[in-house]
Amino acid sequence: MPLFEIRDLVTAFHTTDGRVPAVDGVSLSIDRGRTLGLVGESGCGKSVTAMSILRLVAAPGRIETGSILLDSPAGPVDLVTLPDSDLRRVRGGRIGMIFQEPMTSLNPVFTVGDQIAEAVLLHRACSRGAARARALEMLRLVRLADPEQRLDEYPHQLSGGMRQRVMIAMALACEPDLVVADEPTTALDVTIQAQILDLLGDLRRRLGTAILLITHDLGVVAETCDEVAVMYAGRIVERAPADVLFARPLHPYTIGLLAARPDPDAAGRAPLRTIPGMVPAPQRFPVGCRFHPRCGHARAAATPEGPACEAPAPELLEVEPGHFVRCHYAERLGEPHPAAVEVRFA
C-alpha cells in the first residue's frame, strides 16, 4: 500500500444552477519520500482535490464518493469517513498543508513563534517551553534569517518569502508523513521561489516526507517531482513518472501545456504558443472527451483506429508501464513533441 492513495474521488458543489462536479473520479497515489506534481490550468480541479484531502471543502461543496486512504500502523484509514476528532489529529499532524498565500493561513494577531508552537502543542504531548524550542528549531531548519528575533514577530512584519518559510515550518513542525503544497511559490518572485523549492526538496530528503505539489508551472514540476499527474476539467488525463512525461507526453492537452511554456531564449522573437479556448466551467463539461472542443486531433466520427471523441468518454488506460493516458488516440499521437526535448530534468 502506498503512503497515500486517492481512489475515484468525486467532489461536487450543489448550487442553484445544479450539481457541479469539480473533481470527477480522480485517483492518485504517493509513496513515502516521493513528490507527485498535480498540474493543470486554473479551474481544472487541482485545488478542490487538495481541499478534499483534509475535508476542507466548504458547503455547498461535498465529497460524494471515493476514498482517501492514509497508510497507518493498524492499516489504511479513510479520511473521507474518519470521525472529526480523529481527522483533527491528522490535519497538521500526519498531513501538513502549505497554501499559496500565507497571510490567509497565518493568524495576524499572534507571533509566528506562538503559531508554530501551538501547532506542536496540538499534536505532541510536550511543555510550552519545548514547543517554543521546537518552533525555533523549525525556523532555523527553513533557513529564516535571525530566527530568534523572528520568533516574536507578527506575520505583517515579515516579507512574503519569509511568511512562506514560516508556513513551511508550521506544516513540517510535527514531521508529517505527507505535505500538500498548493501553489506554494506562485506569489513569490523567481529567486525566492527557487529557494523555497530547494528547501522543500532538502526537507523531503532529510525527513522522508512525501509531497503532493499542486502547481500550474511545469518548470517547477520538472525541477522537483518524481511523478506527474495532469488534470483537465475535473479528471486526470495523463499520469507518468516525470522524466517519461516530459520526454514522451501522449495526451494532446499535456503536449499543449508543454508547448505553451515560455521559452526565455526566444523572448520577444517568437509569439507565445497557447492552447485555444478555455477550461470549460464544471457545469458545462463537454460530453465524451472533455478536451475535444480544444483538441487539434479530435475525430468527429468513429475511424478504423478508434471511436469519435464526443462519445464514448475515454478511460484512463496504462499505455506503457506506469504511464496512464485518457485519450482514444494516445498511442497514435505519441511522437515525442519538439517541446519535450528542451526540458531540463533534475
Closest CA to 168 of 193, 133, 131, 132: 193
According to the binding rule CB under 6 A, does residue 250 interact with ligand SF4? no
Nearest to ligand SF4 of 174, 279 (CB atom): 279
> Nearer Cβ to ligand SF4, position 13 or 232?
232
Contact set for ligand SF4, span 139-198 (CB under 6 A) = none
Q: Which of 194, 188, 211 is nearest to 103 (CA)?
A: 188
Which position among 4, 99, 324, 329 is part of the footprint of ligand SF4 (CB under 6 A)? 329
232: contact with ligand SF4 by CB under 6 A: no
Neighbouring-strand partners of residue 82: none
**Looking at beta carbons only, is 197 or 289 nearer to ligand SF4?**
289
Minimum Å gap between C-beta 335 and ligand SF4 is 14
We find the least distance from the C-beta atom of residue 333 to ligand SF4, in angstroms, to be: 7
Cell numbers found for residue 83: 470521525
The nearer residue to ligand SF4, 40 or 314, going by C-beta atoms, is 314
Q: Which of 301, 346, 299 is nearest to 327 (CA)?
A: 299
Nearer to ligand SF4, 131 or 316 (CB): 316
Place of cell 509531497: 211
Q: Does 259 bind ligand SF4 (CB under 6 A)?
A: no
Minimum CB distance to ligand SF4, residue 47 (Å): 23
| C-alpha distance from residue 88 to each of 2, 77, 131, 237 (Å) | 22, 14, 19, 32
**Closer to ligand SF4 at the Cβ: 119 or 309?**
309
What distance in Å separates the CA atoms of residue 249 and residue 232, rounded to the nearest whole number? 15
Size, binding site for ligand SF4 by CB under 6 A = 13
CB closer to ligand SF4, 134 vs 328: 328
The amino acid present at 198, given as its one-letter code, is D
> Is there binding between residue 327 and ligand SF4 (CB under 6 A)?
yes
Reading the block at residue 157, the C-alpha cell is: 512584519
Among 99, 232, 246, 291, binds ligand SF4 (CB under 6 A): 291
289 binds ligand SF4 (CB under 6 A): yes
Q: Which is nearer to ligand SF4, 2 or 293 (CB)?
A: 293
Measured CA to CA, the distance from residue 137 to residue 244 in angstroms comes to 38
Name the minimum Å distance from CB 311 to ligand SF4.
10
If binding is defined by CB under 6 A, does position 298 make contact with ligand SF4? yes
Helix, strand, coil distribution of the chain in percent, nearest 5: 35, 25, 45
Report the candidate in 156, 39, 62, 144 with the shortest Cα–Cα distance to residue 109: 156
Closest CA to 336 of 245, 264, 220, 237: 245
Nearest residue to 298 (alpha-carbon basis) of 203, 117, 288, 31: 288
Q: In what order do the strands lie in the sheet with 323-325?
A: 95-98, 178-182, 210-215, 35-39, 227-232, 235-241, 323-325, 317-320
Quick one: which segment of 106-114, 178-186, 219-227, 288-296 binds ligand SF4 (CB under 6 A)?
Answer: 288-296
Q: Does 314 bind ligand SF4 (CB under 6 A)?
A: yes
Rounded Cα distance between 49 and 181, Å, is 12
Under the binding rule (CB under 6 A), the answer on residue 292 touching ligand SF4 is yes
Measured from the CB of residue 39, what is the shortest distance to ligand SF4 in angstroms? 16
Q: Using CB under 6 A as the criterion, which residues of the chain lie in contact with ligand SF4 when the complex forms?
A: 251-252, 289, 291-292, 295, 297-298, 309, 314, 327-329
